[in-house]
Structure 1
Amino acid sequence: MEEEKLSSVAKRFTASSIQKLSLIAQQCNAINLAEGFPDFPAPLTLKDAAISAINSDFNQYRHVQGICDELASIAKKTHGLDVNPLTDIAICCGQTEAFAAAVFSVINPGDEVIIFDPSFDTYANVVSIAGGVPVYVTLDPPQWTLDPNKLLKSFTHRTKALVLNSPHNPTGKVFSKDELDTIAGACCANDCLAITDEVYEYVTFGNAKHVSLATLPGMHSRAIITSSLSKTFSVTGWRVGWAIAPAYIASAMRNIHARIVDSAPAPFQEAALIALRSPPEYFESLRRDYEAKRDFIIKLLVDIGFQVQFEPQGSFFLFAELPKNCSLTDVDCVEELIKRAGVVAVPGCGFFRTNSSKDKRVEEDRSYQKRYIRFAFCKSDATLTSAAQKLNETNFEFLKMQ
């Protein structure tokens, strides 16, 4: 009876699989390779800046214009974008809120929003809350390539926006320049907005380089960039994020933000200024450290039987495939990992949406969607070493079940 008092929106949502698995990890003292949060300290200078702000009584509602000035400077220096810090930026409580504010600012009920599949489930959920209609374009495994024809066929007269996350969660893909050109061309040809999630922009490996979609011809006036401190500075709990957007959209986002949360945490905004002024050496060290962690977990999983046909080009996730002769599903395998090794990961099926889509444009075989598991390697060397020890001591005959 009590549930009848809930809204129709609230009834559609339950705890995510990642939240549930993280709770299991806590309850059974398992090693958490499911949730994408670094379990090592944030930079000392950043922590000192936050402590100093707290000691200086930055306790009230606050909008730190200096963050906007710094973001505009970085956008110019890094991407060549002309950004007005007074009009084109919205400071939010993390990238998640920035993304939601962007969607709520531009999507009306019935508007279609293109989302690449697989994807982080927040995108589709927020679009649905706004009354929009997610339309999925599959990325083709094992390299997770974008088929231009699939993308172009997904546009209709109802298409309002496209969501792009690069570097990509869960696959670790960095969209190529050709793929970005295709996306930009399609957006311009169809008068479509683009909402980007660029939280992993500084975590790329080898020759892969992050290119913001907003820098491509015709896109600066139709792109909404969202990002945050969380991943780059190991402060996922501080909740300081932002959006860079055309002035009329940024203004709408600020108004929505003010009516939901009012302002991002004041002392952490002060610390954000220190973070954004970090020298190039910090970002290079970040890349090197994560690349080493990536290589470590690839070797670990390959040695115990998983397939890694695609090495992550960015982010801090590995989307590993079950062995060819394994008849278990991803969910079954994750349960076995918890029971036998005390290690928690995320079944890949939770990142796919087209396996349950009623969209008649979805026609391809989807059996591969139950064969991937996401492992987060944004963990301390001690955590990864402990995980390796547990996994190496486990009998993985169950991976060979036919």
Structure 2
Amino acid sequence: MEQKLSSAAKTFTPSPIQELSHLAQRSNAINLAEGFPDFPAPSHLKNAAISAINSDFNQYRHVQGICDHLANIMKEMHGLDFDPRTDMAICCGQTEAFAAAVFAIIDQGDEVVLFDPSYETYEGCIRMAGGIPVYVALEPPHWTLDPERFINSLTARTKAVILNRLTNMKWHSPHNPTGKVFTKDELETIAGACRRRDCIAITDEVYEHITYDNMKHISLASLPGMQERTIITSSLSKTFSVTGWRVGWAIAPAFFASAIRNIHVKITDSAPAPFQEAALTALRSPPEYFEKLRREYESKRDYIVQMIEGIGFQIKFKPRGAFFLFAELPENYLLSDVEYVKELIKQAGVVAVPGCGFFHTTLSTEKLSQVGCRYQKRYVRFAFCKSSATLAAAAQKLAELSDAMGCDIGGKNA
């Protein structure tokens, strides 16, 4: 009966990240693969959800109060005016908000520009909508954007550009999964191209409150001429450690937001009602909550950088936001990223993600000669949104493995 599957269904395979997470569960391994916290969600949020369930907020529901709070937040953080009645769409997590945004604007044959390496979900949504992903390779080791390469990637068929969460300290923007920060010139190149080509920007801003080194989040929509052509997507998941609640949103000009809402209703009808009620409690959290969150994640970031450097990985720069470390294998490693991850699971009981799954393009021969033709198989992503106990246990296992091998895994002297 396989022939009965649609062409879209035949295109997709299981997510490597989710497969590795399932492997971690089956083998009782430490999961540094998938980006979900293994520590409790804030008590005040859980109590709010329980109260909502007990108050029978258990049917289809749209909580307008979420939109009111989001409008206030956008005004306070970015100076942007959005109408909470028309410019918001509450969805089942950022993933659905992003997918609905893509379905709302992309037609068969439309091209969508992404930066490579790139988060895997984006391409799937674009292809399901009939769009064509066009990847612009960032150059290692600092993942630099070549303005000419980016401009040349835009054609008469380009409809949209996809960007990760943006943060600001002299206009910087961390990129997922590398932790690279876009310079002011790079961001202005992207925004300027969108304006000249009349392209739409879709931003993924789920890590807006998880930034480091005194950097402050800023939305691309706040750049001149960008609010009218930007769809912002975000959620509760990362900021409030509730990745399973599936409450997210899209914020955009009314004609975009209306289309996204209509698509959302046709697919899922409504986000979980009691968690929408709890979202009101989350969005009312005091500034101290967000500062504490930032400090704790920055400490975890510094810990895992030290841990991974301690087993020989090359850390060219620290991530400036989110909770992933994209680390390069040591020069003397003979194993590829996939081979290393397999050995890591087998010998240490720790699961990470091979970086090759985030790459989709090949640099020119000239560039490859400069950086090494195997660079796309030289990176491993580690998630550090884990408890201190989990990170300490992982550090111990990795250290023991290095000692047992006589040197780092896959090294020439192993």
What's the TM-score once normalised by structure 2's chain length?
0.93
Deviation at 1:389, TM superposition (A): 1.0
Asked if the contact 2:311–2:408 (Cα under 8 Å) also holds between the matched residues in 1, the reply is no
Asked if the contact 1:323–1:399 (Cα under 8 Å) also holds between the matched residues in 2, the reply is no
Residue by residue over 1:320-377, the C-alpha shift from the partner in whole angstroms, topping out at 9 and shown as x without a partner, is 100112221100110111111110000000111114x9xxx99853521100000000
CA distance in 1, matches of 2:33, 2:47: 29
Where do residues 7-26 of structure 1 align in structure 2 (5 Å cutoff)? 7-26=6-25
The residue aligned with 1:79 is 78
CA distance in 1, matches of 2:304, 2:280: 33
The residue aligned with 1:200 is 207
The residue aligned with 1:155 is 154
Give yes or no for the alignment of 1:321 onto 2:328. yes
Deviation at 1:138, TM superposition (A): 1.2
Q: Which of residues 386, 389, 411 is equivalent to 1:400?
A: 411
Give yes or no for the alignment of 1:267 onto 2:278. no
Q: Which of residues 295, 298, 305 is equivalent to 1:298?
A: 305
CA distance in 1, matches of 2:260, 2:38: 31
Q: Secondary structure at the match of 2:138?
A: strand
Q: Which of residues 280, 285, 288 is equivalent to 1:278?
A: 285
The residue aligned with 1:367 is 374
Deviation at 1:211, TM superposition (A): 1.7
The residue aligned with 1:388 is 395
Where do residues 199-348 of structure 1 align in structure 2 (5 Å cutoff)? 199-348=206-355
Deviation at 1:179, TM superposition (A): 2.2
Asked if the contact 2:162–2:203 (Cα under 8 Å) also holds between the matched residues in 1, the reply is yes
Deviation at 1:113, TM superposition (A): 0.2
Asked if the contact 2:312–2:408 (Cα under 8 Å) also holds between the matched residues in 1, the reply is no
Asked if the contact 2:235–2:249 (Cα under 8 Å) also holds between the matched residues in 1, the reply is yes
CA distance in 2, matches of 1:219, 1:228: 21
Deviation at 1:133, TM superposition (A): 0.5
Deviation at 1:303, TM superposition (A): 0.8
CA distance in 2, matches of 1:257, 1:201: 23
The percent of aligned pairs where both chains have the same amino acid is 70
The residue aligned with 1:109 is 108
Asked if the contact 1:148–1:182 (Cα under 8 Å) also holds between the matched residues in 2, the reply is yes
Counterpart code for 1:241: G
Deviation at 1:151, TM superposition (A): 1.1
CA distance in 1, matches of 2:365, 2:401: 39
Deviation at 1:178, TM superposition (A): 2.7
Residue by residue over 1:9-55, the C-alpha shift from the partner in whole angstroms, topping out at 9 and shown as x without a partner, is 00111111101111111111110000000110111111110000000
Deviation at 1:217, TM superposition (A): 0.5
Deviation at 1:193, TM superposition (A): 0.3
CA distance in 1, matches of 2:37, 2:175: 17
Residue by residue over 1:291-321, the C-alpha shift from the partner in whole angstroms, topping out at 9 and shown as x without a partner, is 1001101111111111111210000000010
What's the TM-score once normalised by structure 1's chain length?
0.96
Asked if the contact 1:305–1:399 (Cα under 8 Å) also holds between the matched residues in 2, the reply is no
CA distance in 1, matches of 2:221, 2:122: 19
Asked if the contact 1:173–1:314 (Cα under 8 Å) also holds between the matched residues in 2, the reply is no
RMSD between superposed Cα atoms in Å: 1.5
The residue aligned with 2:385 is 378
Count of residue correspondences: 397
CA distance in 1, matches of 2:365, 2:64: 45
After superposing the two structures, state which structure 1 stretch, 324-333 or 339-348, moved more: 324-333
Q: Secondary structure at the match of 1:399?
A: coil
Asked if the contact 1:31–1:383 (Cα under 8 Å) also holds between the matched residues in 2, the reply is yes
CA distance in 2, matches of 1:298, 1:242: 32
Deviation at 1:281, TM superposition (A): 0.8
CA distance in 2, matches of 1:165, 1:180: 12
Asked if the contact 1:105–1:249 (Cα under 8 Å) also holds between the matched residues in 2, the reply is yes
Where do residues 17-166 of structure 1 align in structure 2 (5 Å cutoff)? 17-166=16-165
Residue by residue over 1:75-129, the C-alpha shift from the partner in whole angstroms, topping out at 9 and shown as x without a partner, is 0000100000000000000000000000000000000000010111110110011
Asked if the contact 1:174–1:314 (Cα under 8 Å) also holds between the matched residues in 2, the reply is no
Q: Secondary structure at the match of 1:90?
A: strand
Q: Secondary structure at the match of 1:400?
A: coil
CA distance in 2, matches of 1:42, 1:241: 17
The residue aligned with 2:183 is 176
CA distance in 2, matches of 1:175, 1:74: 24
Asked if the contact 1:328–1:401 (Cα under 8 Å) also holds between the matched residues in 2, the reply is no
Asked if the contact 2:116–2:361 (Cα under 8 Å) also holds between the matched residues in 1, the reply is yes
